[in-house]
Amino acid sequence: MLLKSKIALVTGASKGIGRGIALALAKQGCSVVISDIDDAALKNVEAEITLLGVKVLAVKCDVSQKDQVDNMINKTKEFFGGLDILVNNAGIYPFKSFTEITENDWDRVLSVNLKSVFLCSQKSLEIMSNGGSIINISSIASLVGFNSLTHYCASKGAVNSMIRALALEVADRKIRVNAVAPGSIETPGANNPDENIKKQTISMIPLARMGQAEDIAGAVVFLASDLSSYITGQVIVVDGGWTLR
Ligand SMILES: NC(=O)c1ccc[n+]([C@@H]2O[C@H](COP(=O)([O-])OP(=O)(O)OC[C@H]3O[C@@H](n4cnc5c(N)ncnc54)[C@H](O)[C@@H]3O)[C@@H](O)[C@H]2O)c1
Protein backbone atom coordinates (compact mmCIF):
# COMPACT_ATOMS: atom_id res chain seq x y z
CA MET A 1 0.00 0.00 0.00
CA LEU A 2 1.64 3.19 -1.25
CA LEU A 3 -0.64 5.70 0.48
CA LYS A 4 -1.60 4.19 3.83
CA SER A 5 -2.75 6.85 6.37
CA LYS A 6 -2.73 9.60 3.72
CA ILE A 7 -5.77 11.82 3.07
CA ALA A 8 -6.71 12.79 -0.51
CA LEU A 9 -9.37 15.00 -2.06
CA VAL A 10 -10.60 14.35 -5.62
CA THR A 11 -12.87 16.82 -7.46
CA GLY A 12 -15.29 15.65 -10.15
CA ALA A 13 -15.19 12.18 -8.56
CA SER A 14 -18.72 11.01 -9.44
CA LYS A 15 -17.78 9.63 -12.84
CA GLY A 16 -15.08 8.96 -15.38
CA ILE A 17 -11.45 9.76 -14.62
CA GLY A 18 -12.23 11.30 -11.19
CA ARG A 19 -14.05 8.18 -10.01
CA GLY A 20 -11.19 5.99 -11.28
CA ILE A 21 -8.66 8.14 -9.40
CA ALA A 22 -10.66 8.07 -6.15
CA LEU A 23 -10.95 4.26 -6.29
CA ALA A 24 -7.25 3.81 -7.10
CA LEU A 25 -6.17 6.05 -4.21
CA ALA A 26 -8.50 4.15 -1.85
CA LYS A 27 -7.00 0.82 -3.02
CA GLN A 28 -3.61 2.16 -1.90
CA GLY A 29 -4.99 2.65 1.64
CA CYS A 30 -5.74 6.35 1.31
CA SER A 31 -8.72 8.02 3.01
CA VAL A 32 -10.62 9.98 0.38
CA VAL A 33 -12.78 13.09 0.16
CA ILE A 34 -14.83 12.87 -3.02
CA SER A 35 -16.69 15.84 -4.44
CA ASP A 36 -18.83 16.63 -7.48
CA ILE A 37 -21.89 18.62 -8.56
CA ASP A 38 -23.67 15.31 -9.27
CA ASP A 39 -24.71 14.35 -5.75
CA ALA A 40 -26.61 11.18 -6.68
CA ALA A 41 -23.71 9.60 -8.59
CA LEU A 42 -21.34 10.70 -5.82
CA LYS A 43 -23.31 8.55 -3.35
CA ASN A 44 -22.63 5.46 -5.50
CA VAL A 45 -18.88 6.14 -5.51
CA GLU A 46 -19.03 6.71 -1.74
CA ALA A 47 -20.54 3.22 -1.36
CA GLU A 48 -17.88 1.68 -3.65
CA ILE A 49 -15.06 3.24 -1.62
CA THR A 50 -16.61 2.21 1.71
CA LEU A 51 -16.49 -1.41 0.49
CA LEU A 52 -12.70 -1.04 0.09
CA GLY A 53 -12.42 -0.51 3.85
CA VAL A 54 -11.08 3.05 3.90
CA LYS A 55 -12.70 6.23 5.26
CA VAL A 56 -14.58 8.35 2.73
CA LEU A 57 -16.32 11.73 2.91
CA ALA A 58 -18.61 12.90 0.09
CA VAL A 59 -19.15 16.66 -0.33
CA LYS A 60 -21.26 18.27 -3.04
CA CYS A 61 -19.24 21.10 -4.59
CA ASP A 62 -19.17 23.17 -7.75
CA VAL A 63 -15.45 23.84 -8.02
CA SER A 64 -15.99 27.14 -9.86
CA GLN A 65 -17.72 28.66 -6.80
CA LYS A 66 -15.46 29.99 -4.04
CA ASP A 67 -18.01 29.60 -1.21
CA GLN A 68 -18.57 25.93 -2.15
CA VAL A 69 -14.83 25.23 -2.41
CA ASP A 70 -14.24 26.85 1.00
CA ASN A 71 -17.03 24.70 2.47
CA MET A 72 -15.51 21.52 0.93
CA ILE A 73 -12.08 22.22 2.42
CA ASN A 74 -13.53 23.24 5.80
CA LYS A 75 -15.48 19.93 5.91
CA THR A 76 -12.26 18.05 5.01
CA LYS A 77 -10.48 19.75 7.92
CA GLU A 78 -13.37 18.96 10.32
CA PHE A 79 -13.60 15.29 9.27
CA PHE A 80 -9.96 14.33 8.67
CA GLY A 81 -7.97 17.13 10.38
CA GLY A 82 -5.88 17.94 7.27
CA LEU A 83 -5.00 16.98 3.71
CA ASP A 84 -2.00 15.35 1.99
CA ILE A 85 -3.09 15.00 -1.65
CA LEU A 86 -5.31 17.26 -3.80
CA VAL A 87 -6.45 16.05 -7.23
CA ASN A 88 -7.96 18.86 -9.33
CA ASN A 89 -9.84 16.68 -11.82
CA ALA A 90 -13.27 18.31 -12.43
CA GLY A 91 -13.44 19.72 -15.94
CA ILE A 92 -15.71 20.28 -18.92
CA TYR A 93 -15.01 20.14 -22.65
CA PRO A 94 -18.03 21.42 -24.65
CA PHE A 95 -17.21 21.29 -28.39
CA LYS A 96 -18.02 24.55 -30.20
CA SER A 97 -16.39 26.20 -33.19
CA PHE A 98 -14.41 29.33 -32.29
CA THR A 99 -16.77 31.77 -34.02
CA GLU A 100 -19.73 30.37 -32.08
CA ILE A 101 -18.23 30.41 -28.60
CA THR A 102 -20.11 33.00 -26.51
CA GLU A 103 -18.60 35.05 -23.72
CA ASN A 104 -20.63 32.92 -21.35
CA ASP A 105 -19.19 29.66 -22.83
CA TRP A 106 -15.68 31.06 -22.50
CA ASP A 107 -16.19 32.15 -18.86
CA ARG A 108 -17.79 28.82 -17.90
CA VAL A 109 -14.94 26.67 -19.36
CA LEU A 110 -12.25 28.90 -17.85
CA SER A 111 -14.04 28.94 -14.47
CA VAL A 112 -14.56 25.18 -14.19
CA ASN A 113 -11.19 24.16 -15.66
CA LEU A 114 -8.80 26.91 -14.49
CA LYS A 115 -10.27 29.16 -11.78
CA SER A 116 -11.19 25.97 -9.89
CA VAL A 117 -7.51 24.98 -9.76
CA PHE A 118 -6.72 28.36 -8.20
CA LEU A 119 -9.61 28.18 -5.71
CA CYS A 120 -9.10 24.53 -4.66
CA SER A 121 -5.30 24.73 -4.48
CA GLN A 122 -5.21 28.00 -2.50
CA LYS A 123 -7.77 26.86 0.08
CA SER A 124 -6.26 23.35 0.34
CA LEU A 125 -2.81 24.80 1.07
CA GLU A 126 -4.27 26.16 4.33
CA ILE A 127 -4.76 22.61 5.61
CA MET A 128 -2.08 20.68 3.71
CA SER A 129 0.78 19.08 5.54
CA ASN A 130 4.42 19.50 4.55
CA GLY A 131 5.33 16.88 1.98
CA GLY A 132 1.94 17.01 0.23
CA SER A 133 1.12 16.58 -3.45
CA ILE A 134 -1.16 18.58 -5.75
CA ILE A 135 -2.06 16.83 -9.01
CA ASN A 136 -3.97 18.54 -11.79
CA ILE A 137 -5.71 16.72 -14.60
CA SER A 138 -4.72 18.66 -17.69
CA SER A 139 -5.06 17.28 -21.25
CA ILE A 140 -3.05 16.71 -24.40
CA ALA A 141 -5.21 19.62 -25.63
CA SER A 142 -2.76 21.78 -23.63
CA LEU A 143 0.01 20.65 -26.01
CA VAL A 144 -1.61 20.21 -29.44
CA GLY A 145 -4.60 21.88 -31.09
CA PHE A 146 -8.10 20.42 -31.32
CA ASN A 147 -10.89 21.76 -33.53
CA SER A 148 -13.84 23.29 -31.66
CA LEU A 149 -12.02 23.30 -28.32
CA THR A 150 -10.22 26.67 -28.35
CA HIS A 151 -11.52 27.66 -24.91
CA TYR A 152 -10.69 24.21 -23.51
CA CYS A 153 -7.16 24.21 -25.00
CA ALA A 154 -6.58 27.68 -23.49
CA SER A 155 -7.77 26.53 -20.06
CA LYS A 156 -5.56 23.43 -19.97
CA GLY A 157 -2.52 25.28 -21.35
CA ALA A 158 -2.95 27.76 -18.52
CA VAL A 159 -3.12 24.92 -15.98
CA ASN A 160 0.29 23.67 -17.20
CA SER A 161 1.81 27.14 -16.82
CA MET A 162 0.18 27.67 -13.44
CA ILE A 163 1.56 24.47 -11.91
CA ARG A 164 5.14 25.42 -12.75
CA ALA A 165 4.80 28.74 -10.88
CA LEU A 166 2.94 27.18 -7.96
CA ALA A 167 5.49 24.36 -7.71
CA LEU A 168 8.17 27.00 -7.13
CA GLU A 169 6.15 28.81 -4.47
CA VAL A 170 5.37 25.77 -2.33
CA ALA A 171 8.65 23.86 -2.76
CA ASP A 172 9.88 25.16 0.61
CA ARG A 173 6.97 23.29 2.24
CA LYS A 174 8.01 20.14 0.33
CA ILE A 175 4.66 20.24 -1.47
CA ARG A 176 4.94 19.02 -5.06
CA VAL A 177 2.68 20.26 -7.86
CA ASN A 178 2.32 18.28 -11.09
CA ALA A 179 -0.15 17.56 -13.87
CA VAL A 180 -1.25 14.52 -15.82
CA ALA A 181 -2.24 15.19 -19.44
CA PRO A 182 -4.60 12.43 -20.66
CA GLY A 183 -5.15 11.55 -24.29
CA SER A 184 -8.43 10.00 -25.37
CA ILE A 185 -9.99 8.29 -22.35
CA GLU A 186 -13.29 6.39 -22.36
CA THR A 187 -15.53 8.22 -19.89
CA PRO A 188 -19.21 9.23 -19.74
CA GLY A 189 -18.23 12.80 -20.71
CA ALA A 190 -16.13 11.74 -23.72
CA ASN A 191 -18.46 8.99 -24.88
CA ASN A 192 -19.29 9.07 -28.59
CA PRO A 193 -21.76 6.39 -29.70
CA ASP A 194 -20.48 6.59 -33.30
CA GLU A 195 -18.26 3.48 -33.75
CA ASN A 196 -16.60 5.01 -36.83
CA ILE A 197 -15.36 8.00 -34.83
CA LYS A 198 -14.05 5.62 -32.17
CA LYS A 199 -12.20 3.58 -34.84
CA GLN A 200 -10.77 6.79 -36.34
CA THR A 201 -9.57 7.89 -32.88
CA ILE A 202 -7.93 4.52 -32.19
CA SER A 203 -6.15 4.70 -35.55
CA MET A 204 -4.33 7.81 -34.29
CA ILE A 205 -3.09 6.12 -31.11
CA PRO A 206 0.19 4.13 -31.44
CA LEU A 207 -0.80 1.78 -28.59
CA ALA A 208 -4.01 1.12 -30.60
CA ARG A 209 -6.62 1.44 -27.87
CA MET A 210 -8.61 4.10 -26.07
CA GLY A 211 -7.34 4.93 -22.59
CA GLN A 212 -9.26 3.93 -19.46
CA ALA A 213 -9.70 5.88 -16.23
CA GLU A 214 -7.31 3.37 -14.59
CA ASP A 215 -4.52 4.45 -16.98
CA ILE A 216 -4.75 8.01 -15.64
CA ALA A 217 -5.26 6.83 -12.05
CA GLY A 218 -1.95 4.91 -12.20
CA ALA A 219 -0.03 8.10 -13.01
CA VAL A 220 -1.90 9.97 -10.27
CA VAL A 221 -1.07 7.31 -7.65
CA PHE A 222 2.59 7.58 -8.70
CA LEU A 223 2.56 11.40 -8.38
CA ALA A 224 0.75 11.18 -5.02
CA SER A 225 3.24 8.73 -3.56
CA ASP A 226 6.86 8.96 -2.42
CA LEU A 227 7.86 7.09 -5.61
CA SER A 228 7.81 10.55 -7.25
CA SER A 229 9.29 12.50 -4.32
CA TYR A 230 11.83 14.36 -6.55
CA ILE A 231 9.34 15.29 -9.28
CA THR A 232 7.64 18.71 -9.23
CA GLY A 233 6.29 21.19 -11.79
CA GLN A 234 5.98 18.52 -14.50
CA VAL A 235 3.28 17.52 -16.95
CA ILE A 236 3.15 13.75 -17.50
CA VAL A 237 1.48 12.80 -20.78
CA VAL A 238 -0.61 9.61 -20.62
CA ASP A 239 -1.95 9.22 -24.15
CA GLY A 240 -0.90 5.85 -25.59
CA GLY A 241 1.58 7.75 -27.76
CA TRP A 242 -0.97 10.00 -29.53
CA THR A 243 1.22 13.12 -29.39
CA LEU A 244 4.33 11.31 -30.67
CA ARG A 245 3.39 12.03 -34.29
N1 LIG B 1 -12.00 11.81 -21.17
C2 LIG B 1 -10.98 12.28 -21.88
O3 LIG B 1 -10.69 11.82 -22.99
C4 LIG B 1 -10.11 13.38 -21.30
C5 LIG B 1 -8.94 13.72 -22.00
C6 LIG B 1 -8.11 14.71 -21.50
C7 LIG B 1 -8.44 15.35 -20.31
N8 LIG B 1 -9.57 15.01 -19.64
C9 LIG B 1 -9.84 15.72 -18.39
O10 LIG B 1 -10.11 14.80 -17.36
C11 LIG B 1 -11.02 15.36 -16.41
C12 LIG B 1 -12.21 14.43 -16.23
O13 LIG B 1 -12.81 14.20 -17.49
P14 LIG B 1 -13.86 13.01 -17.75
O15 LIG B 1 -13.71 12.61 -19.15
O16 LIG B 1 -13.75 12.00 -16.66
O17 LIG B 1 -15.23 13.81 -17.61
P18 LIG B 1 -16.70 13.29 -17.22
O19 LIG B 1 -17.61 14.30 -17.81
O20 LIG B 1 -16.89 11.87 -17.57
O21 LIG B 1 -16.69 13.45 -15.64
C22 LIG B 1 -16.45 14.73 -15.09
C23 LIG B 1 -17.04 14.83 -13.70
O24 LIG B 1 -16.82 16.19 -13.26
C25 LIG B 1 -18.04 16.70 -12.73
N26 LIG B 1 -18.09 18.15 -12.87
C27 LIG B 1 -18.36 18.88 -14.00
N28 LIG B 1 -18.37 20.18 -13.70
C29 LIG B 1 -18.11 20.29 -12.36
C30 LIG B 1 -18.00 21.39 -11.47
N31 LIG B 1 -18.21 22.64 -11.88
N32 LIG B 1 -17.71 21.13 -10.17
C33 LIG B 1 -17.53 19.86 -9.75
N34 LIG B 1 -17.64 18.78 -10.54
C35 LIG B 1 -17.93 19.00 -11.84
C36 LIG B 1 -19.14 16.00 -13.50
O37 LIG B 1 -20.36 15.99 -12.78
C38 LIG B 1 -18.56 14.60 -13.68
O39 LIG B 1 -18.89 13.75 -12.61
C40 LIG B 1 -11.40 16.74 -16.97
O41 LIG B 1 -10.59 17.73 -16.38
C42 LIG B 1 -11.07 16.62 -18.45
O43 LIG B 1 -10.78 17.87 -19.04
C44 LIG B 1 -10.42 14.06 -20.11
Average pLDDT, rounded, for the chain: 98
Phi, psi angle pair for 135, to nearest 5°: -125, 125
| Cα 160 from chain centre | 13
Regarding the beta carbon of 92 and ligand 1, being less than 6 Å apart is answered yes
- 54-95 per-position pLDDT tens digit: 999 999 999 999 999 999 999 999 999 999 999 999 999 999
For the CA atoms of the chain, what is the radius of gyration? Answer: 17
Three-class SS state of 83 = strand
- 121-177 per-position pLDDT tens digit: 999 999 998 899 999 999 999 999 999 999 999 999 999 999 999 999 999 999 999
Q: Integer distance in angstroms from the first to the last C-alpha of the chain?
A: 37
Helices (H), 81-149: 103-110, 116-125
- What is the reported pLDDT for 129? 84
- What is the reported pLDDT for 226? 97
Regarding the beta carbon of 240 and ligand 1, being less than 6 Å apart is answered no
Task: Name the CA dihedral angle for 5, 7, 10, 11, rounded to a multiple of 10 degrees.
Answer: 160
Regarding the beta carbon of 14 and ligand 1, being less than 6 Å apart is answered yes
The answer to whether 90 and 18 are in contact (CB under 8 A) is yes
Beta bridge partners of 59: 35
Per cent of the chain over pLDDT 70 is 100
Q: Is 65 left (phi over 0), alpha (psi -120 to 50) or beta?
A: beta
Residue 101 has a CB neighbour count (10 Å cut-off) of 16
Would you say the C-alpha torsion 137, 228, 241, 16 has a positive or negative sign?
negative
Q: What is the DSSP-derived secondary structure letter of residue 22?
A: H
What's the CA-to-centroid distance between 139 and ligand 1, angstroms? 11
| Cα 170 from chain centre | 19
pLDDT of 188 above 90: yes
pTM score:
0.99
- What is the C-alpha separation between 193 and 59, in angstroms, rounded? 31
- Please work out, in degrees rounded to the nearest 5, the angle formed at the alpha carbon of residue 213 by the alpha carbons of 80 and 189: 100
Known catalytic residues are: 152
Give CATH for domain 7-238.
Answer: 3.40.50.720
> What residue segments make up the domains of the chain, in order of their start?
7-238
Nearest-atom number in ligand 1 for the CA of 185 is 3
